[in-house]
Amino acid sequence: MDGRCLSRQVTSSEHLTEDFELDNMHDESEQPLIVDENDDGVTSRPEVSKQDANKLIWLLTLSAGLSGLLFGYDTGVISSTLVSIHEDLGRTLTTLDLSMITSSTSLLALIASPLAGHFADSLGRRPVISVACGLFIFGALFQSAATNVWTMVLGRAVVGAAVGGASAVVPLYIAEISPADRRGQLVSVQSLFITGGQVVAYVVGWAVMGRWRWSVGAGAVPAILQAGLLVGMPESPRWLVLKGRDDEAAIVFSQLGHDDCNQIVSQVKHEVKEEQLSASGSMLNELITIPANRRALIIAAGLQALQQLSGFNSLMYFSATIFALVGFTSPIGTSLSISVSNFVFTLLAFAIIDRVGRRRILLYSIPFMVLGLASCSLAFMHIDASPSDTVAPSTAVSALKSPSPWSLVLLCSLIFYVASYACGLGCVPWQQSELFSLSVRSMGSGLATATNWTSNFIVGATFLPMMHTLGPSATFLVYVVVCLIGYAWVWRCYPETKNLELEQVKKLLENGWGVKANELLNDLEV
C-alpha cells in the first residue's frame, strides 16, 4: 500500500454527517479516489488539504469547547446572582444557604465526572458531551424558575452534573483529535472558553442587575447553540480504534489531515494490544497496578487538586461578596475586572503553551501566585471587614463608606494573582488526558476531574466559614501554603509533554516520573 487511508465510504450511521463535510467534498463522485496500489479494490475518502483539515479541527474544537463557556458562565453568574437575590427565595440567605448554593454544583460534578469517564469509554466521547449539553439547558431554565433555596440548589446540582461530565470528556476529545504540535493550544481552548464565559456572566449580571432569573436562564442560550453543532460532530478516531472500528477511524484521521492514517491506526492498535496484554483485571485496577498509569493518575489528580485548593474559585464564587465587604459600591462591576484579567491572561497561555511547555509555565507562574496571595493577606490586615453571619452582599454591613487605599491594594493584588493563575494552573491541568494510555484515558481523566470537583467543593464549602473563623488575612495565607507545596511537587513530579504524540507520552512514566527523561527528549533545561 502507499500508506494513505484506505477505507469504506461514510454512511449516516458512522456519525460523519454532511454538517462537517468540507466545501470541496460535497460531491464525492466527482473527486479522485485514492486506490490501493495492490488493486485490492478498496477505495478511500478523497484527499483532504491541510488547510481544510485545519478548519475542521478548529470547528470541532470550538464546538466541543462551548461546554467550557457554559462551565465558566455558571461559575461567574452565581457571584452576581448572590448579590441580587435578596429574599426572592423566601428568606434572607444565610452563610449556610450560600455555601449550599455554590457547592451543590461542585458536589454533583465530582460524582458525574468519573461516571462520564466510564460512559465515554462504553458509549463514546460525543454522546457524553451531548447529554451534558442537554443538562446545561435544563439546569439553567430550572434555576431561573426557582422559588426557594432547595429548588435553587437542585437546579445548580443539575448544572453540576453537566459541568462534571463535560469537564472530564471535552479535553479528552479535543486531545484525541489534535496534532501533537498544537495539542496544548487546542485543549487550552476549553480554558479560554471557561474564562470567556465568566466575563460574559459578569457582563450579563451587571447589565440585568437585580433580575437574576434572566442572568441564570441565559445560560441555556449557548447550550442550545452547541446542541445544533454537535449533530455533525464525528467520534474520536482513537476511541473508534479502541472499539475495533478501524475503517471509520481511518476516515476521521484522514479528515483531520493525517497523511498516513493507516500507519497511525496501526500504531494505536499496537498500543491497545500492548495494554491488553499487560492489563490486570478491571480498568480501575489497571490504573492503579500498572506503574505508568498510576503515576499518570497521581500527576493528573494532583494538578487538578492544586488548581482548586490554590483558592481561585473562591474568588469566582464570592468576589462580589468580598468587594462589598471591603467597601466597593459596585461589587459586580469590580468583579468584572477579575474575570477580564483571567480571560486576557488565558489568551496569553493559549498563545505560548506549546512553545514554552506545560511544566515550565507552572514553574514560572506559581511563584507570582504566591506573591499575589501574600499581598492580599497583607491588605486584609489593614482593612476593617467583618462579615456578619447573614451574608447578603447587597446589604452587607461594612465599616467602610468607600474603598480605602488598602482596598485598592487588595484589588490590584487579586488581579495579579488571577493573571498568574490564568497563565499556568488555569489551563495546564486540563491537559490531563495526554498523560494516560488509551485504554484508561477516559477513566483516568474522569477520576482526575473528580479530584478537581472534590477540591472545588471543599473550597466552596469552607471559604466563608474560614473567613469568619480565621479571618480574611489568615484565609489567604492558607492558599499561600498550598501554592508553595504545589510548586515543590510540580518541580519533582511533572514532566514536560509538549510536542509528544499521545502514544509517546506514556513512555515517559514507565520507569519513574519522567522529568529527567523528558529533558533529554525535548532538549530542555528547567
Q: What are phi and psi of 231, to 5 degrees?
A: -55, -40
Comparing 88 with 30, the larger pLDDT belongs to 88
Q: Which of 70-84, 265-279, 375-389, 505-519 is most confident? A: 70-84
pTM above 0.85, yes or no: no
Closest residue by Cα to residue 206 from 76, 88, 75: 76
Give a three-class secondary structure readout of 378-401: HHHHCCCCCCCCCCCHHHCCCCCC
* Distance in angstroms (rounded) separating the CA atoms of residues 316 and 297: 27
Comparing 24 with 187, the larger pLDDT belongs to 187
What does the pLDDT read at residue 275? Answer: 66
What are 25-28's contacts with CB under 8 Å, separation 24+? none
Comparing 216 with 28, the larger pLDDT belongs to 216
Instruction: Classify residue 374 by burial, with Cβ atoms within 10 Å: 0-12, 13-18, 19+.
Output: middle
Residue where the block lists cell 433580575: 211
User: Residue 445 carries which side chain, given as an amino acid letter?
Assistant: S
Query: Quick one: what percent of the chain has pLDDT higher than 90?
Result: 40
Average pLDDT over residues 28-44: 38
User: In sequence order, what are the beta bridge partners of 33?
Assistant: 46
Average pLDDT over residues 389-408: 56
pLDDT bracket for residue 371 (50, 70, 90): very high
CA triple 487-492-498, angle to 5 deg: 90
What does the pLDDT read at residue 47? Answer: 64
In the predicted model, is pLDDT for residue 390 greater than 70?
A: no
Average pLDDT over residues 146-161: 94
pLDDT tens string 338-348: 888 999 999 99
> Among 1.20.1250.20, 3.40.50.300, 1.10.630.10, 1.10.10.10, what is the CATH number of 59-238+267-522?
1.20.1250.20
Grouping H, G, I as helix, E, B as strand and the rest as coil, residue 229 is helix
In the predicted model, is pLDDT for residue 477 greater than 90?
A: yes
pLDDT bracket for residue 23 (50, 70, 90): very low
pLDDT tens string 492-516: 999 988 888 777 787 788 888 877 7
Contacts of 26 (CB under 8 A, 6+ apart): 18
Averaged pLDDT of the chain: 82
Average pLDDT over residues 206-225: 89
pLDDT tens string 304-315: 999 999 999 888
pLDDT bracket for residue 407 (50, 70, 90): confident
The answer to whether 308 and 425 are in contact (CB under 8 A) is no
Average pLDDT over residues 31-41: 37
In the predicted model, is pLDDT for residue 20 greater than 50?
A: no
In the predicted model, is pLDDT for residue 449 greater than 80?
A: yes
pLDDT bracket for residue 522 (50, 70, 90): low
* Distance in angstroms (rounded) separating the CA atoms of residues 198 and 48: 37
* Distance in angstroms (rounded) separating the CA atoms of residues 271 and 523: 26
In the predicted model, is pLDDT for residue 476 greater than 50?
A: yes
In the predicted model, is pLDDT for residue 199 greater than 80?
A: yes
* Distance in angstroms (rounded) separating the CA atoms of residues 312 and 486: 14
pLDDT tens string 83-139: 788 788 888 888 788 888 888 888 898 899 989 988 998 999 999 999 999 999 999
Average pLDDT over residues 24-33: 37
User: Which value, in Å, is the radius of gyration of the alpha carbons in the chain?
Assistant: 24
What does the pLDDT read at residue 19? Answer: 43
Cell for 384?
476593617
pLDDT bracket for residue 35 (50, 70, 90): very low
Question: What are the boundaries of each domain within the chain?
Answer: 59-238+267-522
In the predicted model, is pLDDT for residue 525 greater than 60?
A: no
What does the pLDDT read at residue 482? Answer: 97
In the predicted model, is pLDDT for residue 321 greater than 50?
A: yes
pLDDT tens string 455-466: 988 887 888 888
Residue where the block lists cell 469568619: 468
The answer to whether 128 and 116 are in contact (CB under 8 A) is yes
Query: Quick one: what percent of the chain has pLDDT higher than 70?
Result: 83
